[in-house]
């Protein structure tokens, strides 16, 4: 058989990997499951596959015949068989030299790019197509690739009548009825273009509002239908970034987007160091967007998991954390002694099962210290020493794979990966291993004079504990306004497949010349457009809702996340994991106006957005926000009141009863505890009182308030904490 396994024969040293699956997914006989035993290509010459398969089974099965265990012998195009095996038998057959891999026979189904389905938002979800087609999402990013299938205008009518923008995409850029506007905020002149050379802008735009595209994949990985939340919506692209994003260009993009008449702005941009609102161009631009009824959605940042790293602080912006879906992309490293380790990378390369020499440390360099060599520091590797080998590196970073790629190594094994929850695209066969497996690799390296390994092409595996906030996702508390809980909400941001620029490197390595239409990328940059798309979906049913009403609907209907998996709880995921369908019918909404935000700013002595009265009472905790947070002094008794008002957007005549879930360290009361409404749009106010005898230093306590009328559950997190910044 020609292809990646063409060099294999039954006499080769082959690879073994076992993927354990749920028993319910496979045919079983007593304690036996159907497994597929894959053995590579059919050997040349005289060979009887079925006889060989039966002889292997005779060696390993117990208590029954080989014929009874064999389900199917594959013998025409490749060398494999299916058999009912116990776990012990699987372990034995996996150790045979002829065997490449053993894996359970799972039931398959037609796949999508997964994130929207994972959120319970299928492609055939109820829609309001006419209104959806009038929604315009402004994408402030690196531009867009207009020829992508995700942005085809087939079936689209002309732009909405409200559109005031233009197509100023520059050189070789043409808009259509899907991409109805484009502007270059970077430079002017003949060479200026809104064409996306980085891939980032195309990825975020298609996640929010891309068309449904079948058979999208990254070299066969994550194959399925790629789509945005609102495929009928229009896109306006504002190119404010290349490799970096200057503040003045970001502000220019906001300026244009607001004037052009977009409905939603998605901006997957932020800073590592927080700035006060008046010095934060995104907060400034979003404030003015809010004034015009435009909602801004921003990525929370990629500086986690440390506290106080969230880079989106303003309450008039939805700040989005990144979490996992139920699908992970992993790869496997197989040592010369047969040990197999599951690692992290999006590796599209196959080494054909060939065992390749391993090299490490001082052996890779002639011009660096041994410490730098161990870390595979930039320009440390000597190409003549690493060419044709797999390099072991002590550091896990894109610079490691870039250096190995530069030096023409055949592969790279990166050790001591403390962030095992995300895989990134690599420019060569590479894998990141956790500290435990790293120690085993080093033990093997020291135990033999001829260390060898191979790295397998990545594969898809189930992630049954999802959603879990990604380690890289920035955490609260809010450094600028400690009484405003940030981030607001979590959405899929790990290993997301979406449209990409064919001129951009999929691994961000300039020398990686592969060209792809769809790429797998991780970050809060990816979670942000999920929420922007969900916000547009809500707006398609409620075109006249304010930005704060849409924010409230998304937050109060979010799915609770498992606190046992999140030590930082709401500081990691905010109100919870986004649930777009529920957000269309939230029952009650918390709303805030421009004047409310001004009062909040004045309570912080911030006079930069408006002139403040001489005497301002209250603090940011009094803002009518869907979540509640307060920082208290450690080991001191406290009583804190949160005044709130909700508007009825559910049933005209309804009665909501409050329900509090809290721990023993605080007491929470709601007055009144029942809200009765006689009409739609009626408003009712209440006060939440939180009291406690004192919390220890660097601690937090979470509670939940839920208003329930039997149909709607309107959920708000309450967080009391003593955590303070270290500096």
pLDDT score, position 39: 82
**Orientation angle between helical segments 87-94 and 49-60, nearest 10 degrees:** 120
Task: Report whether pLDDT(207) > 60.
Answer: yes
Mean per-residue pLDDT, 490-509: 96
| Residues 345-389: tens digit of each pLDDT | 999 998 988 999 999 978 888 888 888 888 888 899 999 999 999
Q: Is the pTM of this model over 0.95?
A: no
pLDDT score, position 727: 67
Burial of 201 (0-12, 13-18, 19+ CB in 10 A): buried
pLDDT score, position 78: 64
| Residues 612-629: tens digit of each pLDDT | 888 888 999 999 999 999
Annotate 309-346 with DSSP letters as a single string.
------TTEEEEEEE--SEEEEEEEEETTS-EEEEB-B
Measured distance CA(701)–CA(367) in Å, rounded:
53
Q: Which of 53, 200, 530, 542 is catalytic?
A: 200
CA distances from 721 to 8, 273, 601, 695 (A): 60, 22, 22, 8
Task: Report whether pLDDT(186) > 80.
Answer: no
CB 466 within 8 A of CB 326: yes
Beta bridge partners of 35: 83, 104
Is 141 a residue of the active site?
yes
Burial of 6 (0-12, 13-18, 19+ CB in 10 A): exposed
CB 162 within 8 A of CB 111: no
pLDDT score, position 20: 30
pLDDT score, position 548: 98
Is 525 a residue of the active site?
yes
Mean per-residue pLDDT, 82-92: 89
pLDDT score, position 529: 97
pLDDT score, position 188: 65
Measured distance CA(404)–CA(376) in Å, rounded:
8
Annotate 461-501 with DSSP letters as a single string.
EE-TT---B-TTS---S-SS-TTS-SS-EEEE-SSEEEE--
- The phi-psi region of residue 355 (left if phi > 0; otherwise alpha if psi is between -120 and 50; otherwise beta) is beta
| Residues 312-354: tens digit of each pLDDT | 999 999 999 999 999 999 999 999 999 999 999 999 998 988 9
Q: Which of 432, 525, 627, 716 is catalytic?
A: 525
Percent of the chain with pLDDT over 70: 93
pLDDT score, position 15: 26
| Residues 54-64: tens digit of each pLDDT | 989 998 888 88
Task: Report whether pLDDT(106) > 80.
Answer: no
| Residues 602-614: tens digit of each pLDDT | 999 988 888 888 8
Contacts of 136 (CB under 8 A, 6+ apart): 160, 162, 163, 180, 181, 233, 234, 235, 236, 260, 261, 262, 263, 264
Helix or strand holding residue 255 (H, E): helix 247-260
Domains in the chain, CATH or no CATH each: 33-104 (3.30.70.80), 128-199+232-325+470-582 (3.40.50.200), 329-461 (3.50.30.30), 627-722 (2.60.40.2310)
CB 156 within 8 A of CB 150: no
- What mean pLDDT value characterizes the chain? 89
pLDDT score, position 190: 64
CA nearest to 375, candidates 362, 385, 387: 362
Task: Report whether pLDDT(116) > 80.
Answer: yes
Would you state the structure tokens that stand for residue 119, as one six-digit string?
């959120």
Burial call 16-39: b when 16+ CB within 10 Å, e when fewer: bbbbebeeeebeeeeebbbbbbbb
Mean per-residue pLDDT, 40-45: 80
pLDDT score, position 31: 66
Q: Which of 52, 117, 141, 375 is catalytic?
A: 141
Mean per-residue pLDDT, 643-666: 95
pLDDT score, position 346: 96
Is 67 a residue of the active site?
no
Mean per-residue pLDDT, 511-517: 96
Task: Report whether pLDDT(25) > 80.
Answer: no
pLDDT score, position 35: 83
């Amino acid at each position: 058989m020609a292809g990646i396994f063409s060099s294999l024969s039954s006499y080769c040293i082959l690879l073994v990997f076992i993927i354990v699956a749920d028993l319910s997914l496979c045919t079983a006989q007593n304690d036996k499951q159907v497994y597929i035993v894959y053995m590579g290509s059919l050997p040349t010459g005289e060979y009887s596959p079925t006889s060989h398969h039966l002889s292997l089974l005779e060696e390993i099965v117990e208590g029954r015949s080989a014929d009874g265990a064999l389900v199917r012998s594959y013998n025409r195009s490749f060398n494999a068989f299916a058999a009912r095996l116990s776990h012990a038998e699987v372990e034995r057959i996996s150790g045979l030299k002829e065997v490449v891999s053993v894996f359970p026979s799972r039931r398959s189904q037609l796949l999508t790019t997964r994130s929207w389905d994972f959120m319970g938002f299928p492609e055939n979800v109820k829609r309001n197509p006419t209104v959806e087609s009038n929604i315009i999402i402004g994408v402030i990013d690196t531009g867009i690739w207009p020829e992508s299938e995700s942005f085809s205008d087939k079936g689209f009518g002309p732009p909405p009548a409200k559109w005031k923008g233009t197509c100023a995409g520059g050189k070789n850029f043409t808009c259509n009825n899907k991409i109805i506007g484009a502007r270059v905020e970077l430079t002017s002149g003949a060479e200026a273009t809104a064409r996306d050379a980085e891939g980032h802008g195309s990825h975020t735009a298609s996640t929010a509002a891309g068309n449904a595209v079948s058979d999208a994949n990254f070299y066969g990985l994550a194959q399925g239908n790629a789509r945005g939340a609102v495929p009928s919506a229009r896109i306006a692209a504002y190119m404010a970034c290349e490799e970096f994003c200057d503040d003045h260009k970001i502000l220019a993009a906001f300026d244009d987007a607001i004037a052009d008449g977009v409905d939603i702005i998605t901006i997957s941009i932020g800073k590592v160091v927080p700035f006060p609102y008046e010095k934060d161009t995104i907060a400034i631009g979003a404030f003015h967007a809010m004034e015009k009824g435009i909602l801004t959605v921003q990525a929370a940042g990629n500086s986690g998991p440390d506290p106080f790293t969230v880079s989106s602080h303003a309450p008039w912006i939805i700040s989005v954390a990144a979490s996992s879906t139920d699908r992970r992309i992993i790869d496997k490293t197989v040592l010369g002694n047969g040990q197999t380790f599951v690692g992290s990378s999006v590796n599209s390369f196959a080494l054909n099962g060939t065992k390749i020499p391993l090299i490490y440390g001082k052996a890779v360099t002639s011009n660096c210290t041994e410490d730098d060599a161990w870390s595979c520091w930039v320009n440390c590797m000597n190409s003549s020493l690493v060419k044709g080998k797999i390099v072991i590196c002590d550091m896990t970073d894109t610079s490691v794979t870039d250096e190995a790629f530069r030096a023409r190594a055949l592969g790279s094994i990166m050790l001591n990966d403390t962030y095992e929850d995300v895989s990134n695209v690599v420019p060569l066969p590479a894998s990141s291993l956790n500290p435990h497996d790293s120690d085993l690799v080093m033990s093997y390296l020291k135990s033999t004079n001829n260390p060898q390994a191979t790295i397998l092409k990545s594969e898809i595996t189930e992630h049954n504990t999802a959603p879990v906030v990604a380690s890289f996702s920035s955490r609260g508390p809010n450094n600028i306004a400690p009484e405003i809980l940030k981030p607001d909400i979590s959405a899929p941001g790990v290993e997301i497949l979406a449209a990409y620029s064919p001129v951009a490197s999929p691994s961000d390595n300039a020398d990686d010349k592969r060209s792809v239409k769809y790429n797998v990328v991780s970050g809060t940059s990816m979670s942000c457009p999920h929420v922007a798309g969900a916000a547009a979906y809500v707006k398609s049913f409620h075109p006249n809702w304010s930005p704060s009403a849409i924010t409230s609907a998304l937050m109060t209907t979010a799915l609770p996340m498992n606190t046992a998996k999140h030590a930082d709880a709401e500081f990691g995921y905010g109100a919870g994991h986004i649930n777009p369908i529920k957000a269309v019918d939230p029952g009650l909404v918390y709303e805030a106006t421009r004047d409310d935000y001004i009062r909040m700013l004045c309570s912080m002595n911030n006079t930069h957005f408006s002139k403040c009265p001489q005497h301002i009472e209250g603090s940011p905790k009094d803002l009518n926000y869907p979540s509640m947070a307060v920082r208290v002094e450690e080991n001191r008794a406290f009583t804190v009141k949160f005044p709130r008002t909700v508007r009825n957007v559910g049933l005209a005549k309804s009665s909501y009863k409050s329900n509090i879930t809290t721990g023993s360290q605080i007491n929470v009361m709601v007055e009144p505890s029942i809200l009765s409404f006689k009409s739609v749009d009626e408003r009712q106010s209440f006060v939440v009182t939180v009291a406690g005898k004192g919390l220890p230093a660097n601690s937090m306590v979470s509670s939940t308030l839920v208003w329930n009328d039997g149909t709607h559950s309107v959920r708000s997190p309450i967080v009391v904490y003593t955590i303070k910044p270290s500096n």
